[in-house]
Chains A and B, each alone.
Chain A
Amino acid sequence: MAKKKESWKELPIGAIIDEPGSSRKFKTGDWREGKKPVVDKDKCTNCLICWVDCPDSAIIVKDGEMKGFNLDYCKGCAICASQCPVKAIEMVDEEVE
């Protein structure tokens, strides 16, 4: 549920942002158009090159293993798919809801 946006009278002076780390609230995954990445874990070697190259830090890694994609922030740029040395990542059509 999105919170109600403030009126101009309620905003902090000088258009500052007074809450550190609030950029996480901006779900830039909304910008993704058409295709999203999927990983074939049978092929994946957990080399983490996708994690290094992802410009949106949207690769989920736990205990040294690549676990998938944070689609709240993945913009669908496909750098991970193109850089994966074993072709374990594929861009697939997004389901239309």
Chain B
Amino acid sequence: MKVVAKTANEAMAEAMRQINPDVVAAYPITPSTEIVQLFSQFVADGLVDTEFVPVESEHSAASACTGAAAAGARVMTATASQGLALMNEVLFVTPALRLPIVICVINRTLSAPINIHCDHSDTMDQRDTGWMQFYAENSQEAYDLVIQAMKIAEEAFLPAMVSADAFILSHSLERIEILEDKEVQNFIGEHKTPFSVLDTEHPITVGALDLQDYYFEHKRAAAQAMREARKEIKKVFKDFGQKFERNYDFVEEYKMGDAERALVLMGSTAGTAKEVVDNLREEGEKVGIVKVCTFRPWPVEEVNHALKGADFVAVMDRAEGMTGFGAPLFTEVRSSLYDEDKNPDVYGYVYGLGGRDVTPDDIKKVFDDLKKAESGEKLERNSYLGVRE
């Protein structure tokens, strides 16, 4: 174990170097992020054995990655924002073919208007593709999750994206602990692949036409893979915790024990929110945080368990969702709680779009709102935090 100062970009690139994938196909300029640039330097310096394919667009990057994985390679890439959006068509193909690729995503907003800063619009846009999604709170988590996601993907035969907030994490230096190269290699183990098109002893067809009589069954099977991925995620998180003493779970409960009011959120804002909770706890307020680390597969049991004791809950989305009702995380959380005997009152807050800062005062305002609701005041079901009215 080594202690170093790294940005999330550097931390994720370092994890990629240690994983040493067979193929990285990427479009390494704007709107991508520094991860691919850093990784291409590792390739140029001979530090990895990777075949680096600098393609002409992210659509081609996702296509080349999917093809390489079908051929039996261990494959990774990185992108952000519009780049991830351009991959969209191909991102549906990878999980349907059950190919275990990992994408490092730096969460940036989508146009229009043009903006390169942080929100979760890009990955939320991909939530129905069938990729597993993990969200990091800091650079340490970004590093650890990339390594764990590679193993989870190859155990579950599903692709995974690991997300870290743009600039707040991607360009900020943090103290992180990195593993030895050998430890990473031993942890991820031998590359596993569901099939290989290069196995001439057992010729197969991949991506064939599939009409009314079989398409539905194949989709049903892929949906089951997402449900069953829970088991592999649990196992890999546990194994990582036992080996390296850094523990991950589908959700992280922070001071939720006796919490009556809680925030549910993802990504770097959890760090700010924990500070606010610490301060409010000192004043005797029973408040807590539920940080969602695994967004796909959606951890319904863990979210409901975490919110069991809460009476008033605010779900904070760093993406609009454009539903005309509530943003993505809000609708998931509220729908999950519907089957519980006791439902807390759940409110949605959209915040931080296009890199708008979220301060401790903003977070405190949400807790204050929940207190008002507790005392009988009527709140908007869905509202915006930090926008000029």
**B99, B203, B207, B217: which contacts A11 (Cβ < 8 A)?**
B217
**Chain A residues whose C-beta falls within 8 Å of the C-beta of B202 in the assembled complex:** 18
Stretch at the interface among A2-10, A40-48, A50-58: A2-10
A15-B96 contact given A8-B220, A8-B221, CB 8 Å threshold = yes
Q: How far is the CA of A14 from the CA of B208 in the complex (A)?
A: 11
Q: Are A14 and B213 in contact (CB under 8 A)?
A: no
User: Does A13 sit at the interface, judged by CB under 8 A?
Assistant: yes
User: Does A61 sit at the interface, judged by CB under 8 A?
Assistant: no
Q: How far is the CA of A6 from the CA of B203 in the complex (A)?
A: 21
Which range holds the interface residue count of chain A? 10 to 19
> What's the nearest-Cβ distance from chain A to residue B241, in Å?
29
Q: How far is the CA of A20 from the CA of B216 in the complex (A)?
A: 22
User: Helix, strand, loop or mixed for chain B's interface?
Assistant: loop
**B206, B213, B216: which contacts A16 (Cβ < 8 A)?**
B206
Q: Are B194 and A13 in contact (CB under 8 A)?
A: yes
Q: Are B204 and A16 in contact (CB under 8 A)?
A: yes
Q: Are A20 and B203 in contact (CB under 8 A)?
A: yes
Which range holds the interface residue count of chain B? 20 to 34
**Chain A residues whose C-beta falls within 8 Å of the C-beta of B213 in the assembled complex:** 5
> What's the nearest-Cβ distance from chain B to residue A25, in Å?
12
**B97, B195, B206, B217: which contacts A6 (Cβ < 8 A)?**
B217
**Chain A residues whose C-beta falls within 8 Å of the C-beta of B157 in the assembled complex:** 13-14
Residue among B97, B213, B220, B221 having the largest count of chain A Cβ atoms under 10 Å: B221
Q: Are B204 and A17 in contact (CB under 8 A)?
A: yes
**A8, A11, A15: which contacts B208 (Cβ < 8 A)?**
A15
Which residue of B is nearest A22, CB measured? Answer: B205
**Chain B residues whose C-beta falls within 8 Å of the C-beta of A13 in the assembled complex:** 98, 157, 194-195, 221
- Against A, the Cβ 8 Å flags (1 = close, 0 = not) of B196-230 are 00000011111110100110111011001000000
Q: Are A15 and B204 in contact (CB under 8 A)?
A: no
- Against A, the Cβ 8 Å flags (1 = close, 0 = not) of B211-255 are 001101110110010000000000000000000000000000000
> What's the nearest-Cβ distance from chain B to residue A17, in Å?
4
**Chain A residues whose C-beta falls within 8 Å of the C-beta of B97 in the assembled complex:** 14-16
Within 8 A of B (CB), among A26-50: none
Q: Are B218 and A11 in contact (CB under 8 A)?
A: yes
Q: Are A17 and B208 in contact (CB under 8 A)?
A: yes
Q: How far is the CA of A5 from the CA of B203 in the complex (A)?
A: 22
Residue among B96, B98, B202 having the largest count of chain A Cβ atoms under 10 Å: B98
Q: How far is the CA of A9 from the CA of B223 in the complex (A)?
A: 12
Q: How far is the CA of A13 from the CA of B206 in the complex (A)?
A: 10
The 3 A-B pairs with the shortest beta carbon distances in the complex, nearest first, are: A8-B217, A14-B98, A17-B205
Between-chain CB contacts (< 8 Å), 19 pairs: A5-B213, A8-B217, A8-B221, A11-B214, A13-B157, A13-B221, A14-B194, A14-B195, A14-B206, A15-B97, A15-B210, A15-B214, A15-B218, A16-B195, A16-B204, A16-B205, A17-B204, A17-B208, A20-B205
What residues make up the interface of B, taking CB atoms closer than 8 Å to A?
96-99, 157, 194-195, 202-208, 210, 213-214, 216-218, 220-221, 224
